[in-house]
Amino acid sequence: MVKGFDGAVGLTDHPTAFRKWMIAGLEQAWIINEFEGLEMLKDPEHHHKETSNHQVKFQEKTSSLIAKLEEKGNPFLETGKELLTIDTHDVCNGNIVQSISTLEKIGQKQYRDFVKAVLEEKTKPSRAPITRNNLKLMKAVRQKPKRDKLIDQLAMVKKESKLFFNDSFFNLG
């Protein structure tokens, strides 16, 4: 009877494990089958971003972006050759402007290379990884300044001093 459940192989050598299997094996199999049955009942077509809460957050963020564009002005309508950030109207440096202006050309070249290698010549599989483009964008401009080493050391000393003076060994009272 136990062998029919594909679970007794190797258990006969260990009496304790065999006893546990005989007592709890059927119950464990029933729990696993019930869990798998519940997983099958879930709607596989439902995407996690289709909830009303997610849609409300998306609508709030969209409204916030529209309000900022109305407040600061549309950066795409600005006249001049400088590239500006949307929120602060900071002028981007030349490397960022060049990488953004060549972005479409790079993408088109990668697409042509992919079509040629995968569809025409069939030298690469369709699931072959695509190389990443490390272009300098506006996020690189606004990186947080690195903390000073002295500030980190001071924070560590303060933390250690609290541990040292709060130790019950040094309390006199």
Does the residue 86 lie in any domain? yes
- Position 18 scores a pLDDT of 75
Q: 31 and 82, same structural domain?
A: no
Does the residue 172 lie in any domain? no
More confident position, 134 or 7: 134
Mean pLDDT of 17-38: 77
Does the residue 29 lie in any domain? yes
Q: Is the per-residue pLDDT at 80 higher than 90?
A: no
Considering only CA atoms, which of 136, 134, 133 is closest in space to residue 98?
136
Does the residue 166 lie in any domain? no
Q: 139 and 90, same structural domain?
A: yes
Does the residue 51 lie in any domain? no
Q: 137 and 91, same structural domain?
A: yes
> Based on the structure, what is the number of domains in the chain?
2
- Max mean pLDDT among 15-29, 102-116, 128-142, 145-159 falls in 102-116
Cα(123)–Cα(111) distance, integer angstroms: 15
Mean pLDDT of 105-125: 91
Query: Average pLDDT over the chain, rounded to whole?
Result: 75
DSSP for 103-131?
HHHHHHHHHHHHIIIIIIS--S-TTPPPP
Least confident span in 41-50, 63-72, 126-135: 41-50
Domain span including residue 96: 78-145
Does the residue 153 lie in any domain? no
User: In 3-state terms, what secondary structure has residue 91?
Assistant: strand
Query: What is the rounded (10 degree) CA torsion for 160, 165, 170, 172?
Result: 180
Does the residue 60 lie in any domain? no
Residues 89 and 72: beta-carbon distance below 8 Å: yes
Q: 36 and 84, same structural domain?
A: no
pLDDT (tens digit per residue) in 51-67: 888 889 999 999 998 88
Q: Is the per-residue pLDDT at 172 higher than 90?
A: no
pLDDT (tens digit per residue) in 84-111: 666 676 777 777 777 777 888 988 999 9
Q: Is the per-residue pLDDT at 162 higher than 60?
A: yes
Question: Where do the DSSP E strands lie in the chain?
Answer: none
- Position 45 scores a pLDDT of 67
Residues 152 and 116: beta-carbon distance below 8 Å: no
